[in-house]
A and B are shown apart, each in its own frame.
Chain A
Amino acid sequence: MKGLKYQLKSVLKDKFCLMTFLLPMVVAVALNFMGFIDLSSLGEHHFGVLKNDLPPHTAAWLERYGPVTVYETQEELTAAINEPSTNIIGVKADGASIKTVVAGDELDIFRQAAVTLPSLYEQREWAEKVEIQTLERSDILESFQDIFIPAVLIVAMFMGCTFNAMNIISEKEDGVAFVNEILPMTPSQYILQKVVVGFLFGSLSSIVTACICFRLSWQNFGLLPLIVLSSFVAALIGLFIGKLSESLMTGVVYIKIAMLAFLAVPIVCALIGVNGPLAVICNIVPSQPAFDGIMALSAGNMGTAIKDIGILAIHCAAWFVLYILIFARHKSE
């Protein structure tokens, strides 16, 4: 217990650890407030017209669909249309009708808008008379957040990995690792102390993040075993990284690679929709069952969530046994 107190003290002094502890919570708060940021202009159509080219009523009609920018010269309009960060559609008068000018590198949605704009202009009087029923959408960014929230939670769950790795690397750099070798402490006591630090902080970070993201209710209680098991696996992986890293620099590189793999595998699997043997292989990365479990719980699929909890439990046992085996062999050498 006294050893554990020292471990906690050393972690709390480390700015890097505290920063990684707070980061998922800050991102979770930011995600919650994302609904207030006006990103609506991202999907809007932008039009560019030449000065004194379009009749005033045509320009006014065009403004119904999006911002219209007036350019003094043809060169300026061409440059604006070709500008790669925007999808400006150039609009010119063509007798009684209009014609459109595009760069040709737009996404389909903007190209289709340019193709149909002249016929929209021709049919404007009929379109104005048609009844439009607008339904309320609860949250435009909801689908966007569906994948972000589990991703942030994964980062929080696997924070324990950073804690343990940084803790062991600091000990190595300060020479404490050598002192530990001769202390009257059994390997299991050492592992326990180290795992508990990463496990506690990882779990705490994930629980607070989950509370912010899901505004925790009893419905989400199933998240707890997922959080506990993932944090335990992450803490064990952190021990491996700490042991393998010779310096702080290599440690940071290993942590970044581990974090990248933890995030990339489940997100790519979710986006591509991996099935069959490949899906089973992906479960080797422990964040995959955790991510899958969170998605299953939010969809109310308890069967899949229980299966994922089982996979995580196997991970816990396998990583623990692997560490004991390697550590015991290293000791006997």
Chain B
Amino acid sequence: MREGFCALFKKDCRMLASGKFFLMAAGFLALYTAYVNLGYIRFMQMPPYNVYLYDPAGTQTEVSSLVHAVASLEAMDAALLSDANGVGLDASAEAVRVVLYAGAEHVDHHRADYALSLLRPSAGSAPEIIGTNTPEQKARKEITCELLFFELAAVGFLGIAAVLFQEKGMGVIRVHAILPLQKNLFLLSKLMVFLLSDLAFAVLLTLLNVGLADGAALLPAVLLQTAILSLMMALAGLLCALLLKDFRQFTLAYLIIAIFAATPVFLSANTSVKFDWIDYHPFYHVYMGLKNAYFGVAASLVYYIGSACAIALLFLAVQLAFRREMGKEG
């Protein structure tokens, strides 16, 4: 049995290598790393609103250094036109007037009052900081988690299905039906190859993008979540590949999963946009498990039990579909 498993494992590795799967994974790793280090960290910044002051008579004496002085009302209008989130303060008359472009109501109130507060800056008390991450650490962890989830959920799913369709086309399933091997080995070797490659990908992606020291501390928790997601996606990919007729049909299923399953999860998990029904979305819990691992929050026991049950159920379904497929072929 061990020899059979090793032979199947080697065959799957060779097949993935010849299908340029490992090359593609290495390419995506390089691309993601370049994106995080050269693009995301540089662009994911949101400076405070710019405040432009027109004060020809110099009536405002205590102005904060964050205020930009402008020479005329026209210059203030031009500045606001190009920076619609900015706030203009017109101190040319006796009373100060606030000028701003309309946005969301709450934000407008805050922008106006914030701009006014810069005219009379007070030392005040600095906010109490209770977290452990810096903005850059948070951004790195967040984007690494998103990229890993995308890689496992979309690219891994596509990869395993592509391999199985190729084998189906080559008649490997038919040959396997008459081999003196335990039938589950065929599925287990595939799961093992994808699990190992996903784990290696997760290790490299985390260390390269979160940083060596920070990343190494997170790895145990991240690898556990990666294993859960990888097994689920690989089993889902196998199931789709066994049930659907050809690779073209599969690409439709893939597109639906990529757009409709992943988008609401990303919105709910990363932004303040929350959907009431998101708790019923299975991807949301898996994604939050991965995200919590990156931010050092322990997942609940219910989540682990649910994940184990989901993997077991998916494996049973795949086993059934595989036996049906072998029966059809044989």
Contacts and interface: CB of A to CB of B under 8 A. Distances in A.
Interface of A: 14-16, 19, 39-46, 64-67, 78, 81-82, 84-87, 89-90, 94, 97, 99-116, 118-120, 122-124, 126-127, 130-137, 140, 143, 247-250, 252-253, 257, 260, 264, 268, 271
A61 to B, nearest CB: 10
22 contacts: A15-B249, A45-B106, A66-B107, A82-B131, A86-B272, A87-B272, A102-B128, A104-B130, A104-B133, A105-B135, A105-B137, A107-B46, A108-B48, A109-B47, A113-B114, A116-B124, A118-B125, A123-B113, A132-B100, A133-B100, A135-B101, A136-B102
A131 B117 contact: no
Nearest to A86: B272
Nearest to A16: B248
Interface string B90-124: 00000111111111101111101110111011101
B62 to A, nearest CB: 12
Interface of B: 19-20, 24, 27, 31, 39, 43-49, 80, 84, 95-104, 106-110, 112-114, 116-118, 120-122, 124-135, 137-138, 141-142, 158, 162-163, 165-166, 247-249, 251-252, 255, 268-273, 291, 295
Contact of B127 (A43, A97, A99, A135): A99
A40 B131 contact: no
Contacts of B102: 134-137
B214 to A, nearest CB: 13
Given A112-B48, A118-B125, A137-B84, A103 B131 contact: yes
Contact of A130 (B116, B124, B142, B255): B116
Contacts of A112: 48, 114
Contact of A253 (B24, B114, B141): B24
Given A103-B129, A119-B122, A19 B107 contact: no
Q: What 3 pairs between A and B have smallest CB-CB spacing? A: A103-B131, A105-B138, A40-B104
Nearest to B48: A112
Given A85-B271, A113-B110, A113-B114, A130 B96 contact: yes
Given A127-B113, A249-B166, A104 B100 contact: no
A250 to B, nearest CB: 6
A253 B20 contact: yes
Given A14-B248, A131-B98, A43 B103 contact: yes
A57 B133 CA distance: 34
Given A102-B127, A252-B247, 4 more contacts: A15-B249, A44-B104, A130-B95, A135-B101
A19 B255 contact: yes
Contact of A107 (B45, B84, B97): B45
B138 A84 contact: yes
Contacts of B117: 116, 119-120, 123, 127
Given A19-B252, A82-B130, A135-B100, A248 B247 contact: yes
A116 B110 CA distance: 10
A109 B31 CA distance: 29
A40 B104 CA distance: 6
A260 B120 CA distance: 50
A260 B127 contact: no
A39 B273 contact: yes
Nearest to A142: B84
A130 B103 CA distance: 19
A75 B301 CA distance: 20
A28 to B, nearest CB: 15
